[in-house]
Copies of this chain bind each other. A is one copy, B any other.
Amino acid sequence: MIEDPFEQVAFLGFDVFGTVVDWRSSVTRLAEPFLRRHGVHVDPYRFADEWRALYQPAMERVRSGERPWVKLDVLNRENLETVLSRHGVDVGQIPETELIDLNLAWERLDPWPDSVEGLTRLKRRFAIGPISNGHMAGMMKLARFGGLPWDIIVGAEVAKSYKPQPETYLKSAAAVGLPPERIAMVAAHNEDLAAARALGFRTVFVRRPREHGPAQTSDLEPRSNWDVIAGSLLEVAEVLGCG
């Protein structure tokens, strides 16, 4: 008899940016009118990539203790000003409301085409929620924007730490009232799953080969024998008996 490693699992925790939502297309689309209006000469896809590229270094300053924990929207806003400045924009001359609005792009990201239906099916068997580096209000607005049927929002803000730091996973587990072995982390990023597995979580790898566009080189394939490896959240639902 084959043991089902998900028999005892009661909660699926999701990475969100890249795994559930397509941040690159959405940020590009939302930034394009701003860039045009202000005469910023940069391809909007490149702008989205450059903005996103500042995400890990900004969190690293928090992880390292160089600065206290702040919510992701604060980091995103700082990074926005950095990337605009690099393209010669005098940020002080941009109306504050426009900067606020552009930063809110991260709360208006389209789900991948399979996400809403996949989550809806998975929710029949498991409680579901983000274990994301996004902040709670941002995750809430993203869910309302895209129709993501979360049962709860945990992750970085609950833990006051950023993945892949262990606290982010462990405090999220404590908040949903389950030990790590009864939770599966679902992510398109090998590093995220490696950190979760090291703590005892089950792991689900979802291929998102276009997260970074057609030239993506990272996370194209699973780097370990994750418990489930799938091409979409619908496939995850099927594998876990929620088809």
Contacts and interface: CB of A to CB of B under 8 A. Distances in A.
Contacts of A143: 151
A144 B151 CA distance: 7
Query: Binding site of A, secondary structure by majority: helix, strand, loop or mixed?
Result: helix
Given A144-B151, A151-B143, A177 B137 contact: yes
A184 B139 CA distance: 20
A117 B233 CA distance: 29
Interface string A146-174: 00001111100110000000000000000
26 contacts: A73-B177, A127-B140, A127-B141, A127-B144, A129-B140, A136-B152, A136-B154, A136-B175, A136-B176, A136-B177, A137-B175, A137-B176, A137-B177, A139-B152, A140-B151, A140-B152, A140-B176, A140-B177, A143-B151, A144-B151, A150-B151, A152-B152, A152-B153, A153-B153, A157-B175, A158-B158
Interface of A: 73, 127, 129, 135-141, 143-144, 150-154, 157-158, 175-178
